[in-house]
Amino acid sequence: NAGVTQTPKFQVLKTGQSMTLQCAQDMNHNSMYWYRQDPGMGLRLIYYSASEGTTDKGEVPNGYNVSRLNKREFSLRLESAAPSQTSVYFCASSERASKYSNQPQHFGDGTRLSIL
Amino acid sequence: QKEVEQNSGPLSVPEGAIASLNCTYSDRGSQSFFWYRQYSGKSPELIMSIYSNGDKEDGRFTAQLNKASQYVSLLIRDSQPSDSATYLCAVNLGNAGNMLTFGGGTRLMVKP
């Protein structure tokens, strides 16, 4: 059982280049998330998808776009990469929240992205 | 003021001791609380979830929730060097749907 799979694991880009980070989960979860993690900043939510067909902005959405391709896959695109987007990117998934509680999120191994 | 706060540490404890990690949050209406462990260079791994006031025990780990005082803590009994990691507190703040807000994490060092 692979859980949450992210590709690529490492990437170096030049300023202005574009790329798409891929994420797939095999746990039949409804909700998926993209975070970035910077030293001293903790995990910050970029975008999330509560269910297939919906996406919403998180805390730091500027410079990113997302696509919920189907229930399994949720991609993150950088249209014009900037050095400030150098970070570790994590994808996560969870069951959909109920009225009274959230379900825990399960994380992929991350993508380490450097923008020169 | 951050919405979910943790002391960044490092918190250093001797092997076999109890490690106590604390987290405070800003929204009294929060319902769901999670502790994650993150080894250096790795992804966060869920350790505990807690939804009701009081204690919840799982092996050497105990999560404690006090909604009135807006804090959640994690106790690690009989700490081992393998427990050395960063521990992240995550809270569903208020009526935030599926979203979790993470604290900055506390780095724990367990010395043999």
pLDDT in tens, A7-54: 999 999 999 999 999 999 999 999 999 999 998 778 999 999 988 889
Q: CB–CB of B103/B3 below 8 Å?
A: no
- Provide the pLDDT for residue A96: 77
Of A42, A102, A108, the CB nearest to B98: A102
CA distances from A14 to A11, A53, A75, B89 (A): 10, 32, 20, 34
More confident residue, B8 or A4: A4
**Sign of the alpha-carbon torsion through B23, A107, B86, B18:** positive
Using CB atoms, which residue from A41, A42, A100 is nearest to B31? A100
Which among A42, A94, A107 has CB closest to B98? A94
Chain segment A78-89, per-residue pLDDT in tens: 999 999 999 999
Judging contacts by C-beta atoms under 8 Å, the chain B residues touching residue A55 are: none
Judged by CB atoms closer than 8 Å, whether chains meet at A43 and B43 is answered as no
Q: Residue A99 has what pLDDT?
A: 64
Averaged pLDDT for residues B87-94: 88
Residues of B with CB under 8 A from a CB of A: 8, 31-32, 34, 42-46, 49, 51, 88, 90, 92, 97-105
Burial class of residue B69 in the structure, from the number of CB atoms within 10 Å of its CB (0-12 exposed, 13-18 middle, 19+ buried): exposed
User: Which residues of chain A are within 8 Å of residue B45 when distances are taken between CB atoms?
Assistant: 107
Spell out which residues of chain B touch residue A95, defining contact as CB-CB under 8 Å: none
User: How far is Cα B93 from Cα B77, in angstroms, rounded to an integer?
Assistant: 28
Nearest Cα of chain A lies from the Cα of B88 at a distance, in angstroms, of 8
DSSP bridge pairs for B74: B21, B63
The residue behind tokens 């009274």 is A100
Q: What percent of chain B has pLDDT over 70?
A: 95
- A72 has pLDDT over 80: yes
Query: Which of A40 and A63 is assigned the larger pLDDT?
Result: A63
Residue B75: the pLDDT is: 98
Query: Is A109–B51 a contact, with Cβ atoms under 8 angstroms apart?
Result: no
pLDDT in tens, B33-66: 999 999 999 999 999 999 999 999 999 999 999 9
Which region among B2-6, B65-69, B77-81 has the lowest average model confidence (pLDDT)? B2-6
Predicted pLDDT at B95: 59
- Mean pLDDT computed over every residue of chain A: 92
Q: Give the count of alpha carbons within 13 A of A70, CB side only.
A: 5
pLDDT at B1 > cutoff 70: no
Token pair 């993470």: residue: B102
